[in-house]
Amino acid sequence: MSFFDEISKVDVDSFRALVDSRTDRDVDRALARCGQRMELPDFAALISEPARVHYLKEMATLSMQLTRRRFGRAVNMYLPLYLSNLCTNRCAYCGFSSANKFRRTVLTLDEVRDECEAIKAMGYENILLVSGESERRAGMPYFREVMPLVKRYAAYLQVEVQPLSAEDYAELKGLGLDAVCVYQETYHPGCYRENHLSGRKADMRWRMETPDRAGQAGLDKVGLAALLGLYDPRVDLMALAAHVLYMRDHYPKVRLAISFPRLRPAAGAYEPRYPVGDAKLVQVITAWRIFDNELDLTISTREGAEFRDLIIPLGVTGVSAGSSTEPGGYAHHGENLEQWAVNDSRGVDEVCAALRLNGLDPVFHDASTTYFRAV
């Protein structure tokens, strides 16, 4: 049994009615359970309209308190290193989609080394390797070469690449891999089919079982997310909460992270059908912190500077800055297509200064490996 098997028993559209049926009393009950294990009705209450209208300030205050209590003032600074924009999948919303015609590239080892040197000069030791999905040119043989090279520069090494087998993840762990990030994009089968038109990513089971395989391989951390704006957020957020509960039950030693990708402009001019506004995203982030105090919560440069400065103190523990979403974007600027448009274009020093103004401490490796193991 996998999470795919579990969620397939459920009509995920029924989550919409569960969220819409929540009342102030349900929100009070959920908040009273803070610090205990919460269940899906509690999360439904925290992302409901009554919670946004009547409890948002209280939730934000509580979220900040919980974050400081569990994580102190440390904020993990990470940087994505894009290895390739070559992808065999055709996805409606992605700049790397095989349907988009532009020059594709896979970084050579020398180019990867150049990127690592540029990243080292920026101060980063927490690196997230990202690529389009191409087994032939950017698959395991490529990763076997790249991983040891990048690990020489990375105290903590994550990947956001095509889903791999448990055996492949175990092998990469032996080469220095610490964590896997995988966005399910949407948990709604119809929406998934509509937006993933061809390629291996069209196999919803294979993608959704990736966290299971990463857990079986014994990786330190697994990052999960739904792509906000692709489908009704009430449905996808509830399914994601079910996924978190499943991972807690089946892989209790694996740390979990949640990201909040809102659809941004990309090649192909995709427009989100279910846009998520700033106030709603504040509610969602604080709801996650209250729902599960142990989660790493990550905000990328998809979000604008002003909004990031507002939301990070409320519960975020992972932040990128100075990011490029194109292969070669640090050492060889402006040569390749971005996956999505960066919205916070500030440099690392400027973002760190803003963090310190908010009383936070930017940490350029994964802070949990130093600060929190004894907690």
Q: What is the pLDDT of residues 211-237, one digit of tens each?
A: 999 999 999 999 999 999 999 999 999
Provide mean pLDDT across the span 241-259. Answer: 98
pLDDT for 174: 98
The CATH H-level superfamily of 3-369 is Aldolase class I (3.20.20.70)
pLDDT for 135: 85
pTM of the full structure: 0.94
pLDDT for 247: 98
Of the two residues 96 and 125, the one the predictor is more confident about is 125
CA–CA distances in Å: residue 347 to residues 79, 256, 322:
12, 28, 5
Q: Residue holding tokens 């978190």?
A: 244
What's the token pair of residue 281? Answer: 């995203």
248 has pLDDT over 60? yes
CA-CA distance, 155 to 116, in Å (whole number)? Answer: 12
Give the angle subtended at the CA of 83 by the CAs of 173 and 200, to the nearest 5°: 75
Quote the radius of gyration of the chain (alpha carbons, Å): 19
Return the closest-CA partner of residue 137 out of 163, 105, 168.
Answer: 105
pLDDT for 367: 62
CA-CA distance, 47 to 251, in Å (whole number)? Answer: 25
Backbone φ and ψ for 125, nearest 5 degrees, come out as -125, 0
Q: What are the domain boundaries of the chain?
A: 3-369
Mean pLDDT of the residues in the chain: 92
pLDDT for 373: 39
Largest CA distance in the chain: 59
CA torsion through residues 80, 84, 89, 91, sign:
positive
Return the closest-CA partner of residue 78 out of 116, 114, 127.
Answer: 127
21 has pLDDT over 80? yes
Q: Yes or no: say if 239 and 6 are a contact pair by the CB < 8 Å rule.
A: no
Task: Provide the angle, in degrees to the nearest 10, between the axes of the packed helices 233-250 and 278-291.
Answer: 20
Q: Residue holding tokens 């087998």?
A: 165
Q: Yes or no: say if 140 and 175 are a contact pair by the CB < 8 Å rule.
A: no
79 has pLDDT over 90? yes
Of the two residues 338 and 363, the one the predictor is more confident about is 363
31 has pLDDT over 80? yes
Amino acid at the residue 110: D
What's the token pair of residue 353? Answer: 């200064």
Tens digits of per-residue pLDDT, 36-69?
A: 999 999 999 999 999 999 999 999 999 999 999 9
Q: Yes or no: say if 4 and 260 are a contact pair by the CB < 8 Å rule.
A: no
Q: Yes or no: say if 180 and 169 are a contact pair by the CB < 8 Å rule.
A: yes
Of the two residues 94 and 40, the one the predictor is more confident about is 40
Of the two residues 23 and 1, the one the predictor is more confident about is 23
pLDDT for 94: 78
